[in-house]
Amino acid sequence: MEWNKLLSTQKFKVEDGQIAPYRSSTQTSNQTRSEYHQDHDRVVFSRAFRRLGRKTQVHPLAQNDHTHNRLTHSVEVAAVGRSIGIKLGEALKARGALPEPFTPHDIGAIVQVACLAHDIGNPPFGHTGEDALREWFRQPENQRYLEGMTAAEARDLQTYEGNAHALRIICTTEMYTGLGGMRLSCASIGTLLKYPWTSEESGEKGKFNIYQSELPYFKAVANELGLKELEKDCRWARHPLSYLMEAADDICYSVLDLEDAVEMSIISTTEFEEKLQVDRSRLGNYAMDPRQRCAALRSIFIGDCVEHVSSEFMRNLDSIMEGEYKQADFFQNSSAPCALSLKASKEFARERIYTHPSKIKQEIGAYPCLHHLLSMFIPAIDAVHRGQDLSERQQRILRLLDKPPQEGRSKYQAFLEVLDFIGGMTDNYAMALARDTSGF
């Protein structure tokens, strides 16, 4: 893979069902924003991004205003990702590996865009919501609704993935709906994909980034970027910069989940400080209260991680550019102090935070909530596609959708539009709609 292609500013649209190159009016005029800055603005001003402000990060429906939601998390990940990107860009430039006219700040801007959009496809209730949606389609009594679909289409629904829905929002549903979505640059789209393969390749963890509905679009993007194709039409090597996006996410959630736990009195400030293992002499002699000290230590820790990720990327540059990098991330097998602290923080969060009763209670409630919504909409859509007369109740249900079922759509496409609707809900709206329509 080559940086000249990997940093491509090419954009695509969908015209008469075909993927075609796209150039905005600003691309042909004297512009003040780079293509990557335009990508940034399109993500930030999208409805899908705005809705992240009311979506779960760790604690569903948290009442504490100081804890993170998906929006604040995404903004912070983007800030860290931009720093890592600039740092790496400087290292690439020093080695003579960054082609003209690209700059280290271009690398930072690309990673920043991907970080802003990395959680944009998450449904209500986060990962629990993902599991609830895929579980409904896997239940034996609901298998009849998948009749007539290809195996790949049915697998997409039964392996519902927020990462795949992020690509769908970017390329299909947001802004130019059905005509190329946000029409972001290929570099930004490639960097966004942590799992550039279809559900066929999702494996035991069920992770993938490409629904069948977005496969033609992504194939055009992958071809433009020169991504290495590992399995024909279903699996590609990751864009090198996607590792920076993933690292920024890892850094932020590992330390900020602990900070949220302090805010909610789940853990103490002392426990927070012990897990980060930052040399406290680096704080200087300023008087700080415990929360301020936690914030200062967090800042130092993140700075150390930024340096570590850039160094590890350059150390593994050849294998990354060949699409053969095998490590799960840049921290997994490292003995660097920040890597050891990050791993310890993740383990501590699994033991003390993710299993806390306050979190578990809300997560249990996500299943009946989202199952109820699917049990309303999917049978009604299925009846439309079978040509059945709709009951009065089903007619009312379909009026709740953002847009009515469109003629000519396959059942697979129609079901994805239901998942667009439900997946786009905030936690509060999903709970309110389930409550209001349950009759109790």
Note down pLDDT in tens along the chain; length 440 residues: 899 999 999 999 998 889 999 886 655 555 678 999 999 999 999 999 999 987 765 544 455 455 668 898 999 999 999 999 999 999 999 999 999 999 999 999 999 999 999 999 999 988 899 999 999 999 999 999 999 999 999 999 999 999 999 999 999 999 999 899 999 999 999 999 999 999 999 887 889 999 999 999 999 999 999 999 999 999 999 999 999 999 999 998 888 888 877 777 777 888 887 777 777 777 777 777 777 888 888 898 899 999 999 999 999 999 999 999 988 788 888 888 888 888 888 888 887 777 767 677 778 889 999 999 999 999 999 999 988 999 999 999 999 998 877 777 899 999 999 999 999 999 889 999 999 998 76
Residue pointed to by tokens 């009311």: 54
Residue in 195, 233, 221, 168 with CA at minimum distance from that of residue 412: 168
Q: Where are the alpha helices (DSSP H) in 316-438?
A: 317-321, 337-352, 357-385, 392-399, 411-423, 427-438
Three-state DSSP at 301 gives helix
Torsions phi, psi of 183, nearest 5? Answer: 55, 55
Strand partners of residue 22: 11
Q: How many H-runs (helices) and E-runs (strands) does the chain carry?
A: 19, 4
Residue pointed to by tokens 């004297």: 30
Residues 65 and 297: their CA atoms lie apart, in Å, by: 22
Q: Give the tokens for residue 279.
A: 């040399």
The residue type found at 177 is: T
**How many CA atoms are closer than 13 Å to the CA of 324, on its beta-carbon side?**
4
Q: Which DSSP string corresponds to 256-298? A: HHHHHHHHTTSS-HHHHHHHH---GGGGTT----HHHHHHHHH
pLDDT (0 to 100) of residue 57: 56
Three-state DSSP at 316 gives coil
CB 313 within 8 A of CB 334: no
Domains of the chain: 3-236 (1.10.3210.10), 248-352 (1.10.3410.10), 358-438 (no CATH)
Residues 296 and 291: their CA atoms lie apart, in Å, by: 9
DSSP structural state of residue 56:
B
CB 92 within 8 A of CB 395: no
